[in-house]
Amino acid sequence: MRIGVAGCAGRMGRLLLDEIARAEGAGLSGGTVRRQSSHYGDDIGRLAGREPVGQPATDSAATLFGHSDVVIDFTHPDALAAHLEAATVAGKPLVLGTSGLSAAQEKAVADAASRIPIIYAANFAPAVNVMLGLVRQAAAALGPDYDIEIVEMHHRQKIDAPSGTAIALGRAAAEGRGIDLEANMESGRHGHAGRRKDGAIGFAALRGGQVVGEHEVIFAGAVEHITIGHRSFERRIYAQGAVRAALWVAGRKPGLYGMLDVLGMAGR
């Protein structure tokens, strides 16, 4: 399968190139960078830390989708519209891991998924997606007597907070409890914030050093607490999950899928 990578010169982009080159049944079809990037025109094999493959990095999303069976996109929300357009025009699947999307952008993803298959996930690590299912089950089982707090920590360069994974965990908890996350979300408490609101789902975002990603969901009852947590020690796990998703999505019908579909856990 020919797999392309949008934003192939960044940390995740290079890991994705390398994982595609390693994966059985997959091959590199191309990669994009910004025109002003110092890596514009670089061989994507070199960017992956491998031998040249004779394929230079381009700035054309249309070219990338045209040459690929599926494209993986872990870039920036500002690039989403162009990538969705290129994907739908080419009729090619998209594996989307870009975080920090607005509600309008998430709607655009859902609209595009009526024409092409899209796998959209806040986190492609398999264990994180198992955690989402556990959080949903715990929220449903424990009920409103247990306060829910979500704590996440990432490297100091991360620009969005709370993380996309933290928000996904909050949505899983809200679904389990049968409530709307946006209407019950408390984030960034400071000063005299008042007592905790009944039914609230709280978020705390920590930033420092080079932490790859840590997430904890705390269910705090009056006389007991339970914590469901996950730690990532290497970014490579995200790349491995995304390549697994790219191989899975081939031949699927148009629709919006998640990693639980890839793992065979959807609806559980």
Taking only the tens place, the pLDDT of each residue in 195-254 is 999 999 999 999 999 999 999 999 999 999 999 999 999 989 999 999 999 999 988 999
Please state the separation of Cα 127 from the chain's center in Å.
13
Write down the pLDDT at residue 100: 83
**Which band of pLDDT confidence, cut at 50, 70 and 90, is reported for residue 267?**
low
Residues whose CB falls within 8 Å of the CB of residue 12, separated by 6 or more in sequence, listed in order? 74, 97, 235, 238, 239
How many percent of the chain have pLDDT more than 90?
Answer: 87
Helix (H) or strand (E) holding 37: none
Lowest mean pLDDT among 19-33, 193-207, 253-267: 253-267
Q: What is the mean pLDDT of residues 77-96?
A: 97
Report the chain's C-alpha Rg in angstroms.
Answer: 19
Helix (H) or strand (E) holding 206: strand 201-207
What is the domain partition of the chain in residue ranges?
Answer: 2-120+235-262, 126-232
**Fold for the domain defined by 126-232:** Dihydrodipicolinate Reductase; domain 2 (3.30.360)
**Could you give the residue numbers annotated as active site?**
154, 158
Residue 4: pLDDT above 80? yes
2-120+235-262 under CATH 3.10.20.520, yes or no: no
Distances (CA, A) of 1 to 58, 181, 243, 262: 20, 38, 11, 17
